[in-house]
Amino acid sequence: MSFQAQILTLYPDMFPGPLGQSIAGRALDEGKWGLSTVQIRDFATDKHRTVDDTPAGGGAGMVMMCEPLANAIDELQKEHGQYDEIIFVTPDGKRFEQKDANTLSLKKSILIICGHYKGIDQRIRDLYVTKEISIGDYVLSGGELAAAVIIDAIGRIIPGVLNDETSALTDSFQDNLLAPPVYSRPAEFRGLEVPPVLLTGDPKKVDAWRQEQALERTKTRRPDLLK
């Protein structure tokens, strides 16, 4: 198996969720990549299985404690060996982009830590975490959806997962351009025609049109990508 993701979470039932469907889901069923979850609470040390505590210095909210997370990671690394990356998903992480998905798709094994409440004790970040990733400038109630987004973006570009091998290379963002518009049949629908160049059967002309449209779309919608 080329890629293994393990997720440390308080909500393992959120997985595989959407990752069990569609292209990535089929590849998961076929064993082309792997996904497993570990319940952080199983590594709590008291009889109430406590995983959070009040913030040092006071203030609102709760913080995920060191011990359950450290015990979980230690145990997993003992069983599994070192991970290529230990990722903490957090709104204060580095913004996730296509190139990060590309890089991560080449790894053999990653562990993703999903936080809740006000976050996790900084010492877990200092001691274990190799990458901190945010999926955008908004706050989710926990890291699980962010982890699913990241894994979906990775899963679909793992070699052998897409049936059309070249398809991932023509996605939006792969060359810092948005994808051009696409059409299928019929040639006319409610008065709107498929651009005639797409019906010429001339691949050079089609490519040139797509390139031009991609550039045009990027200029109007995402000029920041062209800088």
Interacting residues with ligand 6GU (CB under 6 A): 89-91, 133-136, 138-140, 142-143, 146
The least CB distance from residue 213 to ligand 6GU, in Å, is 31
CB 146 within 8 A of CB 89: yes
Q: How far is the CB of 98 from ligand 6GU (least distance, A)?
A: 16
Cα dihedral across residues 24, 29, 32, 38: positive or negative: positive
Q: Which is nearer to ligand 6GU, 136 or 159 (CB)?
A: 136
Q: How far is the CB of 151 from ligand 6GU (least distance, A)?
A: 12
Proportion of the chain in helix, strand, coil states, percent, rounded to 5: 40, 20, 40
Q: Give the other-Cβ count within 10 Å of 90's Cβ.
A: 22
- Inter-axis angle of helices 22-29 and 144-155, nearest 10: 80
**CA dihedral defined by 41, 45, 46, 48, rounded to 10 degrees?**
0
Least distance (Å) between residue 52 CB and ligand 6GU: 15
Query: Taking a C-beta distance cutoff of 8 angstroms, is the pair 116, 143 a contact?
Result: yes
**Which CB atom, from 8 or from 135, has the smaller least distance to ligand 6GU?**
135
Comparison of 140 and 197: residue with beta carbon closer to ligand 6GU: 140
Residue 28 or 113: which CB sits closer to ligand 6GU?
113
Closest CB 193 distance from ligand 6GU, rounded Å:
41
Q: Measured from the CB of residue 37, what is the shortest distance to ligand 6GU in angstroms?
A: 17
DSSP codes joined into one string, 48-81: T---EEPPTT--SS-EE-HHHHHHHHHHHHHHH-
Nearest to 140 by CA among 166, 161, 114, 120: 114
> Closest CB to ligand 6GU among 141 and 166?
141
Q: Which is nearer to ligand 6GU, 10 or 135 (CB)?
A: 135
Q: Name the minimum Å distance from CB 21 to ligand 6GU.
A: 21
Q: Which residues contact 75 (CB under 8 A, 6 or more apart)?
A: 43
Query: What token pair was written down for 116?
Result: 């809740």
Q: Decide whether 148 or 177 has the Cβ nearer to ligand 6GU.
A: 148
